[in-house]
Chains A and B, each alone.
Chain A
Amino acid sequence: MNVLFYVSSVIAVVSTVLVITQTHAVHALLYLVVSLLALATVFFAFGAPFAAALEVIVYAGAILVLFVFVMMLLNVGVAAIQDRRWLQPRSWIGPAVLVIVLSAELAYALAQHQIPSAAVTTVTPQAVGCALFGPYLLGVELASFLLLAGLVGAYHLGRHDARRRAEKRVES
């Protein structure tokens, strides 16, 4: 588990540095995906497989897809021209190398049969669920309120423009 932790933490730090130094937003997103995957491996090494799975599904899956959507909305016209440039190896070779190192590490851990490691006590998803819907039930309700508020807020902010434009059209 030591190797798993140290290699993936180095990958996480390197890719995070590359995230904040990139000039192109999509390249930064690619490096952020790598950083999140490395962090999921770190969670795994610390005996939290449920958190690692959620990190991949929610962060690297859902939240980054939101970012990609917004970036595609922001440069609609330029996107078609940039397509050709993105296919050059220079833009994807960095994240690809980091991900290959990460997956090699995962294959090594699988080969060593270290996954249910005896050295690290794993906190199972069952224990997390029991804590979540036991003593933390109020927190779950508050989180649902927060998500609803986020949904309503995002809907309101996104809709404002269209309504105002419609009003203008009616006035004129």
Chain B
Amino acid sequence: MNTVPVEHGLLLAATLFGLGVLGVLVRRNVLFQLLSIEIMLNAASLAFIVAGARWRSADGQVMFLFILAMAAAEVSVGLALVLRFYHQRQTVDADAASKMRG
């Protein structure tokens, strides 16, 4: 039986999550930060899928569906905020939004 070990799947999920965290921390472009958040959500859902495959149950894929719905809602609101931000400041630099009232 040539199944993939669970550890390798979780290692891939951890690597992708770390890359997403790195992207949020390093990039100052708001769009890239949103992309990195997407990468992190993907890594989390990969961990759920791997765990669901390990215990042969559908719960992992159900959680994947919930994460998918959450990501869709998050991205729509986030991109609307990015558009507003760009119209106000004429930039997509996250450091430009350092004040609560502008």
Contacts and interface: CB of A to CB of B under 8 A. Distances in A.
Residues of B contacting A: mostly = helix
Q: What's the interface size class on A, roughly?
A: 35 or more
A17 B80 contact: no
Q: What's the interface size class on B, roughly?
A: 35 or more
A150 to B, nearest CB: 3
Contacts of A20: 19-20, 22-23, 26-27, 32, 35-36, 39
Residues of A contacting B: mostly = helix
A119 B3 contact: yes
Given A2-B2, A70-B31, A123-B53, A150 B73 contact: yes
Interface of B: 1-4, 8-9, 12, 15-16, 19-20, 22-23, 26-27, 29, 31-32, 34-36, 38-39, 42, 45-46, 49-50, 52-53, 56-62, 64-66, 68-77, 79-84, 86-87, 92
A1 B3 contact: yes
